[in-house]
Structure 1
């Protein structure tokens, strides 16, 4: 049986900011561990969040949602892989 730490979770999220605050939010996101800014435009920021559990991703997203200047932070999808899983094309959001 696999141990829980053998799972790797990756999520994307869209962060909506007040446009004048976008640069400040981008700077704060750049300092956050396990968060990578993928793209940004017109007050919208796409981020990738990585962690060892869905709870960890949710906690990071909650921290993002309370940053000054953030209007909303919503998860778009989550992908989970287990250590040793050789089927790298699996996505849990695929129909």
Structure 2
């Protein structure tokens, strides 16, 4: 018997930084779980945040907004996928 599909949230965000602190912020972001930097220029950083709930994404974005050198951190887009689960016999459920 298989488990029901679970939602998986993916969000993009733009982080505005003090230009002199951008590299410091990038270094912290590189160490954060479920956060991937996709580009940066002119004090702005584009990231993707992934997690199991909207609340998890919001919490991560709040932590980012409190980093020293961050002026603002704003979610731009959120998408929810239904995560495929494995049945007990090893077959995947397509949802």
TM-score (norm 1): 0.83
Question: Which structure has the bigger radius of gyration?
Answer: 2
Q: Per the alignment, in what secondary structure is the counterpart of residue 68 of structure 1?
A: coil
Distance 1:54 1:69, change over 3 A: same
1:82 matched residue in structure 2 = 82
Which string of whole-angstrom CA distances, capped at 9 and with x for unpartnered residues, describes residues 36-90 of structure 1? 0000001000000000000000000000000000000000000001124968xxx
Asked whether 1:10 is paired with 2:10, we answer: yes
Higher relative contact order (CA 8 A, sep 6+): 2
Which string of whole-angstrom CA distances, capped at 9 and with x for unpartnered residues, describes residues 9-29 of structure 1? 000000000000000000000
1:30 matched residue in structure 2 = 30
1:72 matched residue in structure 2 = 72
2:45 matched residue in structure 1 = 45
**C-alpha RMSD of matched pairs (Å):** 1.9
TM-score (norm 2): 0.83
